[in-house]
Structure 1
Amino acid sequence: MRLNLIFFGTPSYSVNVLESLIKSRHKVKGIVTKKPSLVGRKKILKPSPVEIFARENNIPLYTGSTKDLEFYDFFNKLKPEIGVVAFFGEIIPTRVIDLFKYKMVNLHPSLLPKYRGIAPVPRTILNGEDIFGVTIHEIVKELDAGDIYDQVSFKISEKKSSGELLNFLSKEGSHLLIKVLDSIENGCFKKNTQNSLEATYAELLKLEEVIFTFNEKAINIERKVLAANPDPIARVKTNYGELLVYKAFATDGLGEPSKIVGIEKDSLKVATKEGVVLLEEVQFAGRRRIKGKELLNGLRLKIGDFL
């Protein structure tokens, strides 16, 4: 026996989950993803990573909203038993959930009921926490509020960006997802109701939240940079223009805020209000991304100058 399912997802993290599902005993009958989006200055239509995966693997595909009538035609042709969601990016209507015999399950990258919402990983980083997790839960009308099938937590002390952590959690979480699907198929699953009184919400990270100055603590700058990668990317105003910062790490050290105090491997060491920040990967608007230490030659700076 196996479950016939429709998968709902959009970014590369969804593909990590899809790849695991394809290798499992369960059958991916079809895939639902968002329509191609306009990208870049030339506004070129770009398909989602999930759409590309579906076409490369000849899996029936629907691109669009679950609110459109065309979705129901797609569903009726496939006759799936369960819907599986991972980073889809759209709230599923109740009438769609009710189409499935076993309803729908979602892979959510937090330990629910904590950090419900669209940006749990960036918010966890921004809050300085090192416990991350994945929850497999039933989808209901209220956002991320359904009964929990299972959870797994990870203590991650190594400094990683939101993108790196989501890549890790999607891969590790897919194993838990398959375990849950197996239990649903066998009728031996157990669900636990969430305590809504303990719920917190993770809103989308706004650009203004991750603009920083060197008059902040180095650890706060580090958190903003890691939380904002891959989007919206943290940035700082310098004497030479706005600098986008993709990688930066806090370390000990002294100096006046924004003063260049040294080089460490590929990073430029800049003093802050408290501690030193290692600028490892940066970019001025319209220019290529470079290692932090390249700023010295590019801007004709030396240690002791102010950035």
Structure 2
Amino acid sequence: MRLIFAGTPDVAVPSLHRLLTSDHQVVAVLTREDAPLGRKRVLTPSPVARAAEDAGIPVIKANRLTDEVTAAIADLDTDLGVIVAYGGLLREPLLSTPRHGWINLHFSLLPAWRGAAPVQHALLAGDTLTGASVFQLVRELDAGDLFGVLEHPIDEDATAGTLLAELAESGAGFLAGIVDDIADGSARAAPQTGSATLAPKLRIDDGRLDWTAPAHQVYNRFRGVTPEPGAHTTINGTRFKILDALPAPGTTLATGTVDRLDGRILIGTATSALELLRVQPAGKPAMAASDWWRGLSHDQPVRAE
């Protein structure tokens, strides 16, 4: 089949690579426009744009799917559209432009966690099982008929970053198999069943940790917001990022108290403590928590709020 692939971030790249090595032809890639990155705000192509350009595939860059973009895609005369984390909504007539419409690889067990941040919300909720779903794209958010689901257990210390990387790899092969099934006519899609839950994009404020909550809830939030939008707190009135942490069962400190015990840097929650491994104080580079602790004057108690 002639395919058009739509995607933007790193997690979409394994699926593009897998389709490029398949029996099908990726005739073009649709991705978001170059975005300013870094302190100097340098305009930078998306990971999918770079992968497509490296493979010599034509790239359409668009944040808004205008009539001009729709016409350009229609001119490609494609059999199927494949979308993985493009970052924009497709509407008619674009939805019906490829002969078989569009299919979407979504990193959840639909109808659970429909939306932009399914992996992050699964971790926030303390889920122990997630996966990938491939469905027919329709106007309603992530609500189309399912071609199949792939289950994936969640490691107890997985962060959104590590879990997304795992799902991107396993989901790529799963997606490619369904593309093959559509090509040979054996694919069958069925309506989603069960109650839907929503997973909207996380904001910076969603990364703030609440030390008055039980340890498992604090740790689940840390996992869900790492690396983006990032876990943070306020220590002695100053913003403080937490880049890596682990539970410290069996150890207790007063809520929000930061101290060094048995060589570990700990923060108290409503139950057991959390151990800080890697941190970034405001205005400073990332560092080991032990190095940060050694640099403090310790002339007053250290508290997180």
TM-score using structure 2 length:
0.92
Task: Measure, in 2, the Cα distance between the counterparts of 1:20 and 1:203.
Answer: 28
RMSD (Å) for aligned C-alpha atoms: 1.9
Match of 2:7 in 1: 9
Point out where structure 2 has 5 or more consecutive residues left out of the alignment.
none
Offset of residue 46 of structure 1: 1.6
1:136-177 CA-partner distances (Å, limit 9, x unpaired):
000001010000000011112331111111111111011111
C-alpha contact 1:149 1:189 (8 A) present in aligned 2 = yes
The match for 1:45 is: 43
Report what 1:256 is aligned to.
254
Structure-1 residue corresponding to 2:99: 101
Deviations 1:2-56 (A, max 9, x none): x210000000011121111112222111101000112344332121111111112
Amino acid at match of 2:280: Q
The aligned residue for residue 19 of structure 1 is: 17
Aligned-pair identity (%): 27
1:91 and 2:75 aligned: no
Runs of 4+ in 1 over 6 A off after TM superposition: none
Distance in structure 1 (CA, Å) of the matches to 2:37 and 2:199 = 26
Residue 273 of structure 1 corresponds to 270
Aligned to 1:289: 286
Contact 1:113/1:199 (CA < 8 Å) preserved in 2? yes
* 1:232 counterpart = 2:236: no
Q: Which amino acid aligns with 1:225?
A: F
Larger displacement relative to structure 2 (41-50 or 26-35): 41-50
Aligned residues of 2:127 and 2:154 also touching (Cα < 8 A): no
Distance 1:206 1:65, change over 3 A: closer
1:204 aligns with 2:230: no
Partner of 2:302: 306
In the other structure, the counterpart of 1:30 is 28
* Structure 1 residue matching 2:278: 3-state secondary structure: strand
Residue 131 in structure 1 maps to residue 129 in structure 2: yes
1:158 is paired with a residue whose SS is coil
CA distance in 2, matches of 1:29, 1:66: 20
Distance in 1 (CA, whole Å) between partners of 2:92 and 2:247 is 45
Q: 1:100-179 maps to which residues of 2 (within 5 A)?
A: 100-179=98-177
Alignment correspondent of 1:193: 191
Q: Distance in 2 between matches of 1:129 and 1:72?
A: 39
* Aligned residue pair count: 301
With over 3 angstroms needed to count, the CA separation of the structure-2 counterparts of 1:129 and 1:221, relative to structure 1, is same
Residue 164 of structure 1 aligns to a residue in which SS?
helix
Tell me by how many angstroms 1:235 deviates.
Answer: 0.7
Equivalents in 1 of 2:180, 2:84: separation in Å?
A: 17
Which structure 1 segments of 5+ residues have no match? none
The 1:188/1:123 distance shift into structure 2, 3 A limit, reads same
Answer yes or no: is the 8 Å Cα contact 1:261–1:270 preserved in 2.
no
